[in-house]
Structures are given as structure tokens and as C-alpha cells.
Chain A
Amino acid sequence: MTAMHELTLTGMRDGLHDGRFTARELTAHLLARIEAAQPRLNAFITITADAALAAADAADARIKNGSARALEGLPIAHKDIFCTDGVRTSCGSRMLEQFVPPYDATAVALLADAGAIVLGKTNMDEFAMGSSNETSFFGDVHNPWREGLSPGGSSGGSAAAVSARLVGAATGTDTGGSIRQPAALCGITGLKPTYGRVSRFGMIAFASSLDQAGTLTRTAEDAALLLGAMSGLDPRDSTSVDAPVDDYVAALDAPLEGLRIGVVQEFMGEGLDADYAVAVRAATAEFEARGATLVNVSLGNIGLSVPTYYVVAPAECSSNLSRFDGIRFGHRADNPADLEDLYRRSRGEGFGAEVKRRIMTGTYVLSAGYYDAYYLQAQKVRRLISADFARAFEDVDLVVGPTTPTPAFGLGEKTDDPITMYLNDIYTIGANLAGLPAMSVPCGFVNGLPAGLQLVAPAFGEGRMLAAAHQYQQTTDWHQKAPGGWS
């Protein structure tokens, strides 16, 4: 019999409903794995064992009496960027090391209402600013595929936890690739929905016009299951969209025949690891073999997506992070000499180097004399990039390409050069700038490390995209590969 942790989220659900194991057994088993893995992977910042076991008992009761909800008893973890009522929410920062929010993020509340059980809060780059999980105040997360390598970031803890089979699924957030890139590097499925699909309320803001909550799962099917429960209009988020939530699971059966898939030419050339390119081409060939039509598409301005992002995101973050001033919550410097000292030291001590860098960058691009050249120009280029996607989608249903230029890199390898680190997100940022749904699915290996295929769909095209990924996962088994020692 398959061990419980090897099951997908959907498999766990079936196991619970068939009475093969109880929610308590499942939860206790995974909590033990989390404890054991923690010294090696450091995937969690906070483990909520007692609350999880109590919730598991309640779930078992519901399953028994026939009142189980969609995600009843399913073990998940939340990225530590989502506020959890009564549970410390650090955002990977010293600034919030002691912060216990008196409220739940909407996504957290929705998943709880659907019956999911939270085993803990996962490690992440500080305030989601990073692509390697190395900016976390709580230490590096290791890639389950090879310790010493980065799991990617910023949702690195969530990706490592799902990849190492510590939880059935995890939430993440994606501002420039922070779900898709770690999913690719850890060999799992990562979904960033359309901007506005999932409420941002209670999700600690990095860059408000780019941030979107999503899922890290083993399969597209699991992503569909979770997304349905997390999505929808939230009156507390002005940017959440009042569009019907499709039955994503029911839509998974849509066939690949007739699907038009655009391969982004700009993503297949220089900069992409040659073996990675082979894996991506094999994946597109699989789609074609299954009846999809491949088309070459061009996104003419996508080359400027990284500099655009590194103006827009820091600008918004410099303002979003001003609320951390040492007064109402968060780190407060000892014995401030005066008000200015309170501000500057609370923030100087509470934030790490990368966060300070981005606040400084954002302050610079918004300041008098530079606003037009940087901020406004970036907003205009953003429009051009968005228009490129819109043009491509006149022709095709999905666009695809690699998720990252290379597989997982070594911890410490890129920390000295922010630009090299930023370029890791070169293929993922475009979807954030345009607000489009995108996902990464495992598509092969490069030197024994996972590679990811990225799919991008038109706004609110999650159903079509998930179906394509699910169909791909019916005839490939890359997503079933577990990192050595974690199966």
C-alpha cells in the first residue's frame, strides 16, 4: 500500500473518505515527517501541531457523520505571508518575528471553511523579496532534490514542503514568479491565478498590483481542487474580481485536441540552459502528439520585463512597507533617542539587506526628478508587455515556455549580485505584469534536477490552463518523481 505521504491531495481525500486512514493518522504522520525534515530542509517557520491534531479530530467526526466539506481533513501549510489569527505570522522577517495577527487572511479563512488542516507556516524570502529563500530571517531552505541547493523563492518553504511530501499542498504568493519558480526548482506544480482571482486581504503586501496568492501542489488536479476553494470576490479587497469561480476540477477533462499553444520564441533562445530547452521541447512535442497545435509566438517587449518589474515592485513595496514603523506592531528599536531614531533603527534593524535594497530602489524611482524616467516609464512598458500577451492570445489559447533559465542553483551562488538573481525570474515576471494566470508543471530533469514547463493563459483562463496541465500529467510522470530520500 502506498504510504499516506506519497498520496496527492486528491489521493488523501479519497483515502479519508474510503476510510483507509483517519485525518488524525494522516496529520500525525505528516507532523512527524515535518519534525524530522526540519533540521535538513528548514521548510517551516512555525509548526502548529496541536491545533492541527485538534482540527483533524473534528474532521474525522465530520467525515464520519457525513458532513465533510470539500477539503475536509486535508493537510496543508500556509506560506508565512498569510496572516493567521492567533498564529505568529513573520513574513520571513525579523520585523515580524513576534507578530501574532488578530485576523485571518481571506484565503486562510476560505481554506479553513472548506475543512483543510494547517500543519504550519512555511519559510520564505523576507517579505517575499527574493528568488532563493536566502533572504529569510529564519535561515535558508534547502532543496529536497539536493541539499545545499536553493529551493527557489520566495515561496521556497512551501515548495520544499510539498516536494518532500511533508504536506499535501501549500499556499504561496507570486509577485514575479514566487510560486512558479520554486515549483519548477522543486519538481512540483505551482499555480499563480489571474490577478484579482484570490483575495489579497490579509496577505502581507509586497507589490500590490502584482501580488497574487496561489497553490503549490503535486498535480494540476490538486491545484484545481484548492483553487476552487480559495477563489472568489472578497468585499474586503477592492482589487478582487467579481467573476464566477469555475468548477476547475470538472473542467480538467477537456481534451488537448484542437488546443492552440504558442511557444514563446523569446524564451527559447539565449540564456536558457540547453538541456532545459530539450526538456521543454519534449513537453511541447507531447502536447502536439496529443492533438494540440503548436504555434510560434513572439512577445516583443518581454525583454524589458525584468527592469520593468524592478521599478514597479520596489516602488510599491517602498510604500507598502512604510507601515512597519515600530509603533503599532513589529520590531521596535530599544531606547530610541527620538522619533527619527525610533523609525530609522526599528526599520534598519527589522528589515534585512534585500528588503532595504528594494525600499531604497523604490524610494529612488518615485522621488522628485526620477518619477517620470523610471516609475512612469515602467508603467508604460508594462502596458506594452501586457499588449504583447493580448496580441498573442488572439491566436492561441495558451502560451508556453520554460519556467526558469536553469534548474536549482547553489545556496550562496547568486547572493552577491542582485541582478543575476533578478534574472532568474526572466520568464515568469511577464504574467505578473499582465495580471495573467500562469503555472509551472514538472517537465523533465537537467543533471538530475527538475525542470519546469510554464503555461500562461488569458485572464480567468485558469480552467483551460489547468485542464491542459492535467492532460499532460495523464501521459507523463515527471510530476510523480519524488526527490531521493523523501518518498
Chain B
Amino acid sequence: MSWDVVIGLEIHCQLATRSKIFSSAPTAYGAEPNTQANLIDLGFPGVLPVLNGEAVRLAVTFGLAIGADIAPRSVFARKNYFYPDLPKGYQISQYELPIVNGGTVEITADDGTLRRINVTRAHLEEDAGKSLHENFTDQSGIDLNRAGTPLIEIVSEPEIKSAREAADYMRRVHELVRYLGISDGNMQEGSFRCDANVSLRASADAPLGTRTEIKNLNSFRFIERAIEHEIERQADILEAGGSIVQETRLYDADADETRSMRSKEAANDYRYFPDPDLLPVVIDDAFVDGVRGAMPELPDARKQRFVADYGLRAEDADVLVGQRPMADYFEAVAGSAEPKLAANWVLGEFTAALNRDGTAVADAPVDAAALASLLARIADKTISGTAAKQVFEAMWAGEGDADSVIDAKGLRQITDSGAIEAIVDEVIAASPEQVQQFRDGKEKVIGYLVGQVMKASRGKADPAEVNRVLRDKLTGG
């Protein structure tokens, strides 16, 4: 039978601050164990937390970006439980009064339409450390470098209807936080991770079923597969007449399955209460206005502007805006080149080269100004599009700017029709078979002949001119 699937996601996203949320220890990833955990992160006796204003600013940025309400007064609470990676025996989080309430994230629904998923809340909290099991037989080693790293936990309403939608939601939030520059979003390093609450019910108007929570989903692929497995697992149980146990399950990517974490369930009672070491966080209009003023143009608005102002296709605008550096790069190129040509190049050659070399936009050897000057040479017909690709590769390889590469390689386009005619004559003479086919009505052969001429000119002939001359000679001649 088919089930109505109900999914809510909790995303933990590290905020890109330089120091921790309640201490001045650095947040850089990958340091020697316990070298980035100070007295406060280690929870030494008598030490106290002081809130990092930047973490507040970044959380407010996120809230504004999803159209949420920013709480004028929010409160930190302690979530009490014992775990070796949690030094104080409590996590400082927000419970009754989170900093961000409401807001929406737009996803592409399974039916292809756009749908807004409501965000319940996003709250500030501190990350825990890590337990390491390698290198020890019957012990675990605790590294608290990550302890105290600022997080926002973004909680969605249970409005997501499939594993694919869940992955799309996660991707959209990921794109957004990176676009806003509030998180590096690095999933391998644990900067962006997701828990999924999944339940099934017979139909959309039936009451909600018992849910399970799948923890530790740190890739788009995993979230989709883990939820698919969980839907299947629950459906099997329900169809066999069984009932779902409310529990936490862990996704094991190696085994590609979820398994119960009953150990973690044992008598959980977090005893939340307001943290007496911290005072209410009061955010006034001036603070919010300041954050709003410093915010970049939001992706949705930018997409619409790309379509309206630059005449881009919606799909191309969507891809460009998906990554803010890409969108910025495009705009810089489009500032001095024909926008559609710029979009084609940024999404084509440029993206391909980035992907091939695993390079970030910021580190690309061809910057926006360089690419714009290359496109200018196409526009003024100095070089052909074909030749431009060679020039681009040479520029990427560090062989110089567009003009010097063009000169060095002798790629200046041949626009002189006398010179083109000479090459065309050579090609016609050398391709009697194709010439005959064309004359017999096989139009498509013209492409081959143009290609031969371009090849003979080493890409330098103007393809439009070649086409014209060829047709002249083959039909008129």
C-alpha cells in the first residue's frame, strides 16, 4: 500500500565565527586534539560563559534571510545530560525562547512545483566535542576542540513528504547558509549535519504516526538513502501489522542502514532550565537593521534580477545563484560583456575547468576581468568562439592574458574573405564526395565542410563567413 510520509528536519549548522560561542578559543578545524579548548570549553570549576556577538549576528542574518521573526528577547537554557564529549554535563542551548521563530525555505516538490517549507525555529547552541575510538582497545579518547563551536539548530515543520524533498530542503538550506556566508557548510568536517524525524500514516488526513529520529546525516546522498530505508522499514512493520517504536536511529553509511541507538534513550530527562550564568539576549530594532543593512542580496531576489535584467533563463539563474561566489563572478563578467554570453561561459568552460581541477571560484586562475576581456575579443570578432576555448585553456594554464595568448598562438580570426575563399577552395577540392552529397540535397554535410575549413584555418576563420562563402561556391558556383 502507499503511505503518506511525514518528515521534519533538524539541521545543525556551525556558524563561521573565529572564536567559540562562549569562549575566546579559536574555532579552526583540524588542530591537534584539545589545543583549541580553553578553560571555558573544558568546563573548569568556576569559569563562566560570555556570549560571542558575532554568533548572534549570524543567527539573526539567517532568520532575516528566511523571513523569520527575530525574538526581541531570547534565553539560553541548559540541557542536562552526561556524555564524555559534553564537558560541563550540560549543553548551553535555547529552549523556550529561541532567537529565530518561523520563516520558510522554498524547495522543489516531488511534482516539480515550488513549495515553501515552514521553519519552526532556529536556536543558538554550542557544539560538543568528539569521542575517538581508534588507537584504543577498551577506551575512548576525547577531543574537545569542537566543544563550544557555535551552532544554529534549524528545525522544520513536519511538512516534507519524501526522501527526495528532504534532500532538496537540506540542499536549499546549505546553499543559503553558504550564500549568506554564515557557515562554511563543510559536511565532511561536520559543519552541517542533519537529523530527520520520519513517520508514516495511512493518508494525509490521518493522525500523525509514531516517529523515529535518524541522526548523523551528513550528506545529501545519505539523507535521501537513510530516509528511503527508514520509510521502507516502517512500511514493512506497519504492513505486517506491527507498530513503530519511538526511538533514535543512527544511519550507518557503510552498511547503508539505520540502526537503533537504544543506549542513548535510557531515561532521558534533560531538565532544561534557564542558564543562570547568562542573561536574556535582547535584540533591538537597531541591531536588526544593522544586520539587514549588511546582508547580501538574497538568492531569490537575485535570481529574479538575473532573469529580468540580464535576460537569463530561470534555470541558469538558479544554478548561478546556488553559489554566491559563482553569482558574484558572473555579475563581474557580465558588467563588461554580453550577459547571455557571460552566463554561457561561466556555466560552461569556467565551471568545467573548476570541476576538473577541484578549484574554488576565488582561486580560479582566470578572474572575472580576464574572462570579460576574452569575451570582448569574441564580441569584436578578433577571435572565433572555437579559438576562444583554446585561449581560455591557455589563460587557465597561466600563459598570459587574452590578447597575449591570441597573439602568441596566432589565433586572430581571418575575416578577410579572400583568405577564406582560398581555404574553402582547398577544402572543396579535397572533399569531392561530401560536395556531391551536398549537391544531392544532404544539407547536413555543410557542417562537416565548415569544420574542415575551420580546421584548416586552425580555428581562426569566422564561422559565419565560412558558411556564407561555402554555400555561395557550392550552390551558385
Contacts and interface: CB of A to CB of B under 8 A. Distances in A.
B276 interface: yes
Nearest to B88: A323
Nearest to B138: A338
A20 interface: no
A322 B269 contact: no
B139 to A, nearest CB: 10
B46 A83 contact: yes
B48 A238 contact: yes
Interface stretch (B79-87, B161-169, B182-190, B249-257): B79-87
A324 B89 CA distance: 8
A328 B42 contact: yes
A195 B44 CA distance: 22
B127 to A, nearest CB: 17
B47 interface: yes
A316 B276 contact: yes
Given A204-B45, A208-B276, A325-B82, A103 B39 contact: yes
Interface in A403-422: none
A99 B44 CA distance: 11
Interface string B276-319: 11110000000000000000000000000000000000000000
Contact of A319 (B44, B50, B269, B273): B273
Contacts, number: 97
Interface string A310-346: 0000011011001111011100000000010001000
B278 A99 contact: no
A209 B276 contact: yes
A194 to B, nearest CB: 15
A368 B49 CA distance: 26
A103 B44 contact: yes
B205 to A, nearest CB: 31
A327 B44 contact: no
Interface in A53-92: 82-83, 89, 91
A319 B80 contact: yes
Contact of B87 (A89, A91, A323): A323
B271 A319 contact: yes
Contacts of B142: 327
A329 B51 contact: no
B214 to A, nearest CB: 24
B400 interface: no
B82 A101 contact: no
Interface string A202-237: 111101110000000000000000000000000111
Contacts of B50: 235-238
Interface string B49-73: 1110000000000000000000000
Contacts of B49: 238
Contacts of B47: 103, 201-202, 236
Contact of B44 (A101, A200, A366): A101
Contact of B46 (A205, A316, A375): A205
A236 B44 CA distance: 14
A315 B80 CA distance: 11
B90 interface: yes
Interface in B372-419: none
A201 B46 contact: yes
B78 interface: yes
A123 interface: no
Interface in A88-119: 89, 91, 96, 99, 101-103, 105
Interface in B445-466: none
A363 interface: yes
Task: Give the one of B42, B50, B87 with max A CB within 10 A.
Answer: B50
Interface string A347-385: 000000000000000010011100100010000000000
Contacts of A91: 45
A343 B87 CA distance: 12
A328 B87 contact: yes
A239 interface: yes
A101 B48 contact: no
B102 interface: no
A40 to B, nearest CB: 30
Contacts of B43: 323, 328
A319 B45 contact: no
Given A208-B277, A238-B277, A325 B89 contact: yes
Contacts of A209: 276
A367 B271 contact: yes
A322 B90 contact: yes
Contacts of B271: 318-319, 363, 366-368, 371
A367 B47 CA distance: 26
Contact of A238 (B42, B51, B269): B51
B445 to A, nearest CB: 77
Given A238-B51, A319-B90, A202 B46 contact: yes
B21 to A, nearest CB: 12
A319 B77 CA distance: 11
Contacts of B89: 319, 322-323, 325
A129 to B, nearest CB: 15
B78 A328 contact: no
B95 to A, nearest CB: 11
A208 B78 CA distance: 13
A155 to B, nearest CB: 16
Contacts of B278: 238-239
Contacts of B276: 207-209, 239, 316
A336 to B, nearest CB: 10
A339 B90 CA distance: 17
A367 B42 CA distance: 26
A363 B45 CA distance: 20
Given A209-B276, A319-B89, A200 B45 contact: no
Nearest to A316: B276
Contacts of B46: 82-83, 101, 105, 200-205
A235 B84 CA distance: 29
B204 to A, nearest CB: 32
Interface string A236-278: 1111000000000000000000000000000000000000000
Contacts of B279: 238-239
Nearest to B80: A319
Contacts of A200: 46, 48
Given A319-B90, A363-B271, A343 B82 contact: yes
A339 B84 contact: yes
Interface in B255-280: 269, 271, 273, 276-279
Contacts of A375: 273
Contacts of B48: 200-201, 236-239
A202 B45 CA distance: 7
Interface centre among B84, B142, B277, B278 (most CB of A within 10 A): B277
A329 B48 CA distance: 17
A330 to B, nearest CB: 8
B82 to A, nearest CB: 6
A100 to B, nearest CB: 12
A91 B42 CA distance: 19
Contact of A327 (B39, B51, B84): B84
Nearest to B78: A319
Given A322-B89, A323-B45, A328-B42, A367 B269 contact: yes
Pairs A-B, 10 closest by C-beta atoms = A322-B89, A366-B271, A208-B276, A209-B276, A323-B43, A202-B46, A204-B45, A204-B46, A323-B88, A83-B46
30 contacts: A83-B46, A91-B45, A96-B45, A102-B39, A103-B39, A103-B44, A103-B47, A105-B46, A200-B48, A202-B46, A204-B46, A205-B45, A209-B276, A236-B47, A236-B50, A238-B49, A238-B50, A238-B277, A239-B48, A315-B273, A316-B276, A318-B80, A319-B273, A322-B80, A324-B45, A325-B89, A328-B43, A363-B271, A367-B271, A368-B271
Given A101-B44, A236-B47, A363-B271, 18 more contacts: A103-B44, A200-B46, A203-B46, A208-B276, A238-B48, A238-B50, A238-B279, A239-B278, A239-B279, A318-B271, A323-B43, A327-B84, A328-B44, A343-B82, A366-B80, A366-B271, A367-B271, A371-B273
